[in-house]
Amino acid sequence: MKDIKLAGRYYWHYLKPYGWPFFWSAVLIGISTACVVIAPTYLGRAISELTTYVQAWTNPATRAGASLTTFHHTLLFYVLFYFGDASSLLIASWLLAKVTAYSTGTMRIGLFRKMQRMKVEYFDQHADGDILARYTSDLDNIFNALNQALIDFLLAIAQMIGILIMMFNQSTTMAWVTMSTTPVALLIAALVMKKAAVAVDQQQTDIGALNGYINEQVTGQKVIITNGLQHDSVEGFNTYNQRVRKTATQGQIWSGILSPLLSGMSLLNTAIVIFAGSWLALSGSLSTGAALAWVVVFVNYAQQYYQPIITLTSLYGMIQLAITGARRVDEVRSQPDEVRPVNGQPIDHIDRALKIDDVRFSYLPGKEILHGVTIDVKKGQMVALVGPTGSGKTTVMNLLNRFYDVDSGSITIDGTDLREFDLAQLRHTVGIVLQDPQLFTGTIADNIRFGDPEAGMDRVIDAAKQANIHDFIESLPEGYETKVSDEQNIFSAGQKQLMSIARTILTDPRLLILDEATSNVDTVTEAKIQAAMDNVIQGRTSFVIAHRLKTILNADRIVVLQHGRIIEQGSHQELLAQHGFYAELYRNQMVFE
């Protein structure tokens, strides 16, 4: 029930702008329903007129007056009502198809826009495949339900109401007889739908997990091939796929069993109506023709009465997938946005200093990562963070760019807390070069100007020259117009990193963060990247995370982190003189140089 309420709120949010199309669709569905429920009465009249004609024609005394004119008129009206039904449904379906296309497009845009405003925390805690499944599988299920099930759902509800009105108008007794099996049908439907809801919900969760596994395996395909783990990869896939197959089978069985069960109930109900109607007709004062017409009308109504129920239950699997999809997409929509201060203070430079003051932070409550970290950085200084894996280096970087906010303590620029600055301006002031460079589909020029799309080619070329990648780009047949993507194989990891550095240079950040930018390259490329880093660092306040200590020997200060605490800090020479953790780490690395 909670999921249904949540789905209702989600659909209302996206469908409420389409009030007029829904209004006219409802009118047309009402016309269609009226045609469907009134038509059987004309069928009954036609049978009655035909019976009267046969009786008159077989009697020599009345044969001369026998006429089929009234029968033909009645039959014509019967056909016209069904024509009205078909044409009304055609127009209503067209209107709702347009609503479906526009609304699901809006949902897709809304989901993507929402993800641009969300905290990085969400992406760190959810697999890429699961996020992708919300764009594909879940939104596809919503589209299919709106496109295929919406018109049938509305029509079934309208027909049910119309049939009930017509039955009680014709005969209250026969109306109750026709409805006599309804409680049993509803009980069966409730039990099956409860089982189906659980299975379908688990099915979508398992599909998200499967997509996450596929994404992981495709991304790491070279590692898998290198280590000869293809068989293990397939076995892992089979495990996830078996779960999806199991839950999908359960969902389809429980969803699909409703329709045949209720079809059987419909046949039983029709037999009851025929028996009860015949008994009432024969024991009453109706003529043979009128009695036959009356029974035919209610047999028709009995079949029509169960048709909306069968339709609704046959749509249940699709509707349940749409409800689950709406819940999963709405989970994203209900995520908190990044905290942006109202009337945030402007920032485009650093006048004096940046200070990390007694900062404590935890990704998960109760599991503190940083324990009272304090670092003072003057304008233009280069600070290097070193330490073993898990010591908190990258966490400090995440806090500097406000991917996360501190639990306690503060990070200030010129005495102003980061949380008080306009977030967009802060991000523009802080530039990051990540360990794993990211290229986007487009040209090399597009990638370099990614942070400033309005930048001209002069600035693009100048940034590439400073990043020591210009000569390589010029050597390509199409130069800066060479098409690239993140998985473009013509670029090495070092070349991608140099392009990433050029992109950062172009944005001209005042605070620079270099997150192990030389960790995945060879010695020659490392020298080029180091030279590019020197260019980008010059005149800027910078933080550098490094495992290769020779790349940060000229740092103004080296901060050594271990288990989320600062254990040493000072210049390279000062730390060597202390003969502590850093000195030992440096000596161990130099053995292999």
The pLDDT assigned to 292 comes to 66
> Quick check: 41 and 297 in contact, CB under 8 A?
yes
The reported pTM is: 0.68
- Could you tell me which CATH number the domain at 2-333 has? 1.20.1560.10
Q: What is the C-alpha separation between 341 and 426, in angstroms, rounded?
A: 12
Residues facing residue 362 across a β-bridge: 368
Low-confidence spans in the chain with pLDDT less than 50? none
- Could you tell me which CATH number the domain at 353-435+510-592 has? 3.40.50.300
Q: What is the C-alpha separation between 166 and 365, in angstroms, rounded?
A: 62
Share in percent of the chain as helix, strand, coil (round to 5): 65, 10, 20
Domains 2-333 and 353-435+510-592 share a fold: no
Rg (CA), the chain: 36
* Structure tokens given for 164: 């009930």
Q: What is the C-alpha separation between 298 and 291, in angstroms, rounded?
A: 11
- To 5 degrees, how large is the angle CA 116–CA 206–CA 238? 120
> Phi and psi (nearest 5°) for 402?
60, 35
3 state DSSP class of 358:
strand
* DSSP state at residue 391: S
The pLDDT assigned to 488 comes to 53
The pLDDT assigned to 361 comes to 92
Angstrom distances, CA of residue 304 to CA of 180, 290, 319, 375: 15, 21, 22, 77
Q: What is the C-alpha separation between 441 and 387, in angstroms, rounded?
A: 35
Helix axes 493-507, 457-466, angle to 10 degrees: 120
Alpha helices in 171-257 (DSSP H): 172-178, 182-219, 221-226, 230-256
Q: What is the C-alpha separation between 227 and 386, in angstroms, rounded?
A: 31
> Quick check: 395 and 361 in contact, CB under 8 A?
yes
* Structure tokens given for 32: 């269609």
The pLDDT assigned to 290 comes to 61
Q: What is the C-alpha separation between 400 and 569, in angstroms, rounded?
A: 19
**Domain extent listing, the chain:** 2-333, 353-435+510-592
Alpha helices in 283-364 (DSSP H): 288-314, 316-333
Helix axes 523-537, 457-466, angle to 10 degrees: 120
Whose tokens are 């078996």? That residue is: 242
Residues facing residue 367 across a β-bridge: 364
443: left (phi over 0), alpha (psi -120 to 50) or beta: beta
DSSP string computed for 394-417: HHHHHHHTTSS--SEEEEEETTEE
